[in-house]
Amino acid sequence: MSLRERRVAVVTDSAAALGPEQIAEHHLFVPRMEITIDCNTLVDGTNAKLRDFYARLATSASVPTTSAPKPAEYLEKFRSAAATAESIFCVSTSAKLSAAYHSAMVGAELLIDELPTHVVRVFDSGTTASSQALISTAAARVADSGGTIGEVTDAARTVANKVRLVAMLDTLRFVHRSGRVPKIAVWATNALNIKPVMEYSTGRIGAIARPRSVQRAINRIQSEMTNDLAGRPAHINVMHAGAPDRAEIIRSWAVEDFECAELFVTQFHPFMGAHTGPGLVGASWWAE
């Protein structure tokens, strides 16, 4: 289906960290977040910049900051989307994590002032990163098949209620720098080689395991995936923070073990990675 034959265009902010291939394949419009590290501000959008960010983060003494796309950035993307469809569906990072949702709402109001016949629906994904990416691609598939704004919304809501994000932190040092854990916890995890496995999903946020090696942490992630996905068509987004070798372990295993309807690898966006640090690896997934 050509862009001009679609009823709905899908927008998602760059916290989803989708690569150029996915953005092009799903005809997505992507407002960009800004990342500041060592007094240098980058507007993200390429994997190369994300790789550079994690290399710099590993040695930087400063705490990076991130900012949501501004309303003007959303308005620009909404205008582009409006040229291709009568309705716009915007998947936002959780309003609890970022100002992106508020910026998108303001941008939507500005567009409707300009184009009152258009519809803009801003959807709070309740999540971010690889889970947000899977919600966005699910919505885009329905949009690309000619779905209505209601059908696109239903698809996004279905995945948002199913998707899980589970990841291993390589260290708590960066979480400590952001003021979220005490220094003694950092010392203990480093001394014992603990690699916390965390979940960020609907109804479940926090540590689910504290294994004492990277391999055991990856094994725990794989166990969680197997419990949910075995014998069912699986949608999987493997993510990493400057750790492609670790991501490849999960990706290659998933190819062999699951019926993958969708499988891709993304970098963990600095929006969250600034606080979790390099070395993180994990995945988001949902089953049909």
pLDDT at 131: 97
pTM for the model stands at 0.91
Max avg pLDDT among 35-49, 150-164, 180-194: 150-164
pLDDT at residue 52 in the model: 78
CATH of domain 164-287: 3.30.1180.10
Tell me the CA distances in angstroms from 179 to 34, 91, 167, 171, 200, one per residue in order: 21, 29, 20, 14, 19
Of residues 39 and 193, more confidence is placed in: 39
- How much is the mean pLDDT over the chain? 88
Dihedral of the CA atoms 124, 126, 129, 135 (nearest 10)? -70
How far apart (Å, rounded) are the C-alpha atoms in residues 171 and 98?
23
pLDDT exceeds 60 at position 88: yes
250 vs 189, more confident: 250
Reported as a single tens digit per residue, the pLDDT across 254-278 is 999 999 999 999 988 888 888 888 9
pLDDT confidence band for 24 (50 / 70 / 90): very high
Residue 193: what pLDDT?
A: 64
How confident is the model at residue 5, as a pLDDT?
67
Instruction: Note the pLDDT of residue 171.
Output: 80
Q: How far lies 279's CA from each of 56, 180, 213, 223, in Å?
A: 13, 18, 13, 20
Q: Could you give the CA distance from residue 77 to residue 10 in angstroms, rounded to a whole number? A: 10
Residue pair 212/195 in contact (Cβ under 8 Å)? The answer is: yes
Predicted confidence at residue 190, as pLDDT, reads 52
pLDDT value for 187? 42
Which pLDDT does position 45 carry in this prediction? 58
- State the pLDDT at residue 207: 84
- Which of 108-117, 180-189, 212-221 has the lowest average pLDDT? 180-189
Q: How far is the C-alpha of 98 from the C-alpha of 14, rounded, in Å?
A: 12
Residue 35 φ then ψ, to 5°: -125, 130
Q: Which fold has domain 3-33+68-162?
A: Rossmann fold (3.40.50)
Query: Averaged over 204-211, what is the pLDDT?
Result: 85
The residue with tokens 């993958």 is 260
More confidently predicted of 17 and 179: 17
Q: Which residue has the tokens 């708590």?
A: 172
pLDDT at 248: 98
Grade residue 236 by pLDDT with cuts at 50, 70 and 90. very high
Could you give the count of Cα atoms lying within 13 Å of 75 in the half-sphere of its Cβ? 12
Domain residue spans of the chain: 3-33+68-162, 164-287
Return the percentage of the chain with pLDDT > 70, whole number. Answer: 88
Bridge-based pairing of strands 281-287 and 164-168 is: antiparallel
The residue-averaged pLDDT of 25-47 equals 81
Would you say 116 and 150 are in contact if contact means Cβ atoms under 8 Å apart?
Answer: no
**Residue 5 class from Cβ within 10 Å (0-12 exposed, 13-18 middle, 19+ buried)?**
exposed
